[in-house]
Structure 1
Amino acid sequence: MEWGLFHSQPGIDIIDFRKDYNTLNARGESLLQSKLFKEPARKRRCLILADGFFEPHYPNDNFKAKPVPKYCYLENRKLFCFAGIYNEFDDEYWNVSLVTTEANDFFGKIHNKKKRMPLVLDPTFEAEWLREDLSDKGILDLVKHGFIKEEFKAHSVANIYKREINTNTPEFLEPVDDGAGEQGKLF
């Protein structure tokens, strides 16, 4: 499986496509209006299991500064499911995009530039998201109202994103001081 949805069509080079389009995320509000996302949203919805994720935060709303990564998670790093959509080619190759939505108050303070958040489905809506007969209205209702009811927590983590370093280890999730003074302590 690979992150970032794309269509397999004659004449489309995947490397060129990825240079031109960022499809890691799919805006939930416009899923059904997008040529790329409409069919997967209607026919190939999935759940993406996680125990946390990163969001960019600009301390003191200074959008010219380098963002500080915030690690977002539920109490006790409880597992949750993102809403996703996918494509499948030749029964061997799959690609997936994470569905996003407008940020709630908590995530609006964290992802403070674009004010977006991933659609973390409330467990009561996970089976609904996967229903093959889910209508367009049902899809959009879940995008708008399906976010988990539990409260998230977040803290700053080291800003180390290098391809040659394995950051998939517990020490990279340790809280760090983001230098934002009192504002940084809110998260």
Structure 2
Amino acid sequence: MCGRFSLTASPEEVADFFDLEAVDDFPPRYNIAPTQPILIIAGDISRAPGDNRSNRRPLLVRWGLIPSWVKDLEKFPLLINARSETAAEKASFRAAMRHRRVLIAASGFYEWHRPPKELKEKPVPYWIRPAQGGIVAFAGLMETYMTPDGAEIDTGAILTTGANAAIAPIHDRMPVVIGPQDFERWLDCKTGEPRDVADLLKPADQGFFEAIEVSDRVNKVVNAGPDLQERVAESRKPVDSRAEPRAVKPASPPDQLKLF
């Protein structure tokens, strides 16, 4: 599961990494939570023949995918993640896997290790970032939902996979990472079907991420400063890979419609 992440790179760095014409200005975001806007990169098949400009476009979408067929939002769960192993068959994600695959810009993500219940200890948060720094692209899905009053809401979810050996002691799931060499193939929903990109839905290489134990201040959405990513003294007890780790469920932000 991925329940919180961060994007602290500059708009210029994001544009360069994803080969975009430009990205609207935005501040560093250290604690992105469900229902808040997230920056995605989508492919654009409307480019005219002979147009050599980038065919990728940045968009802001609500984190929490809503399939087009949903009738009652009050009864529908918040889909912030999609299991990559089953997304192509699940009703909630099937159409998006075929027609609306996107990239999600991030600097890293947070995950919580939950110690065994008998220890009666609090979950331990970790900031998990690329070991070499920089931006990372999560595999994502997008849907545009139309409300009963006719308003359109662009929504998205992060695809997850089984954790690699480095992350598994913290949590058993992690976001799918798409490398720059595979951006075009992942975004090509015109000719590429889900089976054509199935090989990309795998854990990141063993040394790609590093995990840093951080303060539990990240648990609260209102805390959104760079101090959230500062290393704290590691817990006395080592992470137990035999435990059943679960992520802390994030609280909804106080203002779901505010972009930044």
Sort the TM-score into its range (normalised by shorter chain).
Answer: 0.7 to 0.9
Write the deviation string for residues 132-171 of structure 1: whole angstroms up to 9, x where unpaired.
Answer: 22123223221137x46762111111112224x2x32111
**1:162 aligned residue:** 220
CA distance in 2, matches of 1:86, 1:98: 9
Instruction: Write the mapping of 1:1-187 to structure 2, written as runs, cut at 5 A.
Output: 1-9=61-69, 12-17=71-76, 21-59=77-115, 62-63=116-117, 65-75=121-131, 77-89=133-145, 92-111=152-171, 115-132=172-189, 133-144=191-202, 147=204, 151-160=208-217, 161-163=219-221, 165=222, 167-181=223-237, 183=238
Write the deviation string for residues 8-61 of structure 1: whole angstroms up to 9, x where unpaired.
Answer: 337x222321xxx241100000011100001001100100011111011135xx
Unpaired runs of 5+ residues, structure 2, are 1-60, 240-260
User: TM-score with structure 1 length normalisation?
Assistant: 0.81
State percent identity of aligned pairs.
Answer: 31
CA distance in 2, matches of 1:121, 1:14: 31
Q: CA RMSD in A?
A: 2.2
User: TM-score with structure 2 length normalisation?
Assistant: 0.60
Q: How many residues align?
A: 171
CA distance in 1, matches of 2:207, 2:104: 18
Report the alpha carbon displacement of residue 92 of structure 1 after superposing the two structures with TM.
4.5
CA distance in 1, matches of 2:136, 2:183: 10
CA distance in 2, matches of 1:4, 1:89: 11
Q: Secondary structure in 2 aligned to 1:124?
A: helix
User: Cα 1:148–1:88, aligned 2, differ >3 Å: closer, same or farther?
Assistant: farther
CA distance in 2, matches of 1:63, 1:108: 18
Q: Secondary structure in 1 aligned to 2:142?
A: strand
In the alignment, residue 144 of structure 1 is paired with which amino acid? K
Q: Following TM superposition, where does structure 1 have runs of at least 4 consecutive aligned residues deviating by more than 4 angstroms?
A: none
